[in-house]
Structure 1
Amino acid sequence: MKNIKMFHLNDCGYCDKARKAMKELKQEDKYKDVVVETIEETEHPDIADQYDYYATPTYYVDEKKIFEAHIGMTYEQIKAEVKHVFDLALED
């Protein structure tokens, strides 16, 4: 499995949606073993500053940015993007 990093903020509504999506997806057998390294950017600015993103949540798979949220995204859109991230991480 490829490495997944998620940059987030504790008080971010879109991040809350992404966390909910991850929790739901991990209930499926296919995704139950997916591991996501979560990095709260205000708690770890030294790490966050090394990555090129503007909005949270942002996901990287093996150091490649795959998804960065934008204003107006629905829960369904975010869940689809998180699923895509998980699928990429599981590819051989």
Structure 2
Amino acid sequence: MKEIQLFILKGCPHCKLALAYQQELLAERPQWREVPLRIVDERAEADYADSFDYYYVPCYYVGGEKVHEGHAERADVEAVFRAALEENAQIGV
């Protein structure tokens, strides 16, 4: 199992949507709550966020590798969790 890092900006509508999808998926699949998840507000943790190569939020990294950047649909968020669990999933940046 790999750690998920989600980079967000407070007030970003795309980030809010990704977080809502995340909550839906975790409610449906309680076992996914075991996946280590770090949510990084890029304003609050600017130095840390600047050490990563991304431009758009929300941006997901799994095990240190960028797997999704920008507007995310439910299927994209699901693919991120599947990648963290090393299940077969198609994800693209």
TM-score by length of 1: 0.86
TM-score by length of 2: 0.85
Q: Indicate whether 1:25 and 2:20 are aligned.
A: no
Residues 25 and 32 in structure 1, CA contact (< 8 A), matched pair in contact too:
no
The residue aligned with 1:40 is: 41
Residues 69 and 78 in structure 1, CA contact (< 8 A), matched pair in contact too:
no
Residues 2 and 36 in structure 2, CA contact (< 8 A), matched pair in contact too:
no
TM-superposed CA distance for 1:78, in Å, is 1.7
Q: Distance in 2 between matches of 1:65 and 1:19?
A: 17
TM-superposed CA distance for 1:69, in Å, is 1.0
Q: Indicate whether 1:51 and 2:52 are aligned.
A: yes
Q: Distance in 2 between matches of 1:45 and 1:36?
A: 18
Task: Give the count of matched residue pairs.
Answer: 86
The residue aligned with 2:8 is: 8
> Please, which runs of 5 or more residues in structure 1 have no aligned partner?
71-76
Q: Distance in 2 between matches of 1:24 and 1:34?
A: 15
**Cα-Cα RMSD:** 1.5
Q: Distance in 2 between matches of 1:32 and 1:44?
A: 23
TM-superposed CA distance for 1:31, in Å, is 2.3
Q: Distance in 2 between matches of 1:53 and 1:78?
A: 18
